[in-house]
Structures are given as structure tokens and as C-alpha cells.
Amino acid sequence: MRSIPPRLPTLALLAFGGAATIGGARAEPPATDLALRGVMQQLGRDMQTIVGAIATEDWALVASTAPAIARHPQPATEEKLRILGWLGSNAGKFRSYDSQVHDAAAALTAAAAQTDGEAVIAAFASTQRACLQCHREFRAAFGAHFRGTKP
């Protein structure tokens, strides 16, 4: 009979007075996906649509897809606060990568509207670079912190 051990962690927490801190750090709620991950997955799909549209020089499709990247949805306030709390003094950097994505995707929309292929490709590269820079700096640590993935 091994029905008791799974309850022990709860009991142990209660024994510590239900303390919300472990080792001095604020305990996070159980690891689950944040809405940000769904936003990212949609950004990934939109970028793939755009790569395909560039390959076929379908500037109208680029122009109609890029605004969804420039104005991607934001997580709800509560989640934003959790993320900002985790970012601490890095919040400014994180936000600046986000606004670089916004600006580059807006330039991408404008270039596509003018059917300027060279400018579309340049703006696409700037957009992708902003994705890459934020990921290089924050993605692994974010997953490790909020979802318990390996850093």
C-alpha cells in the first residue's frame, strides 16, 4: 500500500505553516503553460506563412499577415505581472525586444503593401533577428522557471 507518500509534500508544507517561500525565493504556482507560449506559437505560424509568401512573392499575403505579428495579443495583466516579477531588472530589455518585433513587423507590412520585395526581405530579417535575440537571452530560463523545462 503506497497511498500515503504522495500526500507527504502537502503535509510537509503545512508543517512549515504553509509558507509561500522556499529557500528565500517566492514559490511559483505549479508549472503550467503561460498564455505567452500560445502567443509565441502563433507568432511562429505567422512567420512561417510569411516565409512561404515571400518565396512565392505573394506580397498581399505578407501585407495581410505581418500586422498580426506587429500587434500580437498580450497575456492578461496577472500573467504579465508574474513575468515582470521574474524579469526584475531585465524587464526593460525584454520589452525592448518586443517593441523591436513590433517596429520591424510594421516595416514589413509597409514594404509588402508597396510590393517592395527587397525591403520585405530586409524587414523580415529584422523581425526574425528580434525574435532570435529575445530567445537567446530569455527563452531557456523562462521555460525552466515557469514550466520546469531543463535550462
Interacting residue ranges for ligand HEC, rule: CB under 6 A: 34, 36-37, 40-41, 43-44, 47, 69, 94, 97-98, 101, 127, 130-131, 134-135, 138-139, 142-143, 146-147
- Report the residue number, 123 or 130, with the smaller CB distance to ligand HEC: 130
Name which of 86, 89, 70 is nearest 34 in CA terms: 86
Name which of 42, 36, 131, 45 is nearest 87 in CA terms: 36
Compute the distance between CA of residue 44 and CA of residue 31 in angstroms, rounded to an integer.
23
Shortest distance (Å) from residue 150 CB to ligand HEC:
11
Shortest distance (Å) from residue 17 CB to ligand HEC:
31
Structural contact between residues 69 and 101, judged by C-beta atoms closer than 8 angstroms: yes
Shortest distance (Å) from residue 76 CB to ligand HEC:
15
Compute the distance between CA of residue 147 and CA of residue 150 in angstroms, rounded to an integer.
9
Q: Is 132 left (phi over 0), alpha (psi -120 to 50) or beta?
A: alpha
Name which of 147, 13, 17 is nearest 82 in CA terms: 147
- Report the residue number, 113 or 133, with the smaller CB distance to ligand HEC: 133
Shortest distance (Å) from residue 121 CB to ligand HEC:
15
- Report the residue number, 62 or 134, with the smaller CB distance to ligand HEC: 134
- Report the residue number, 13 or 79, with the smaller CB distance to ligand HEC: 79
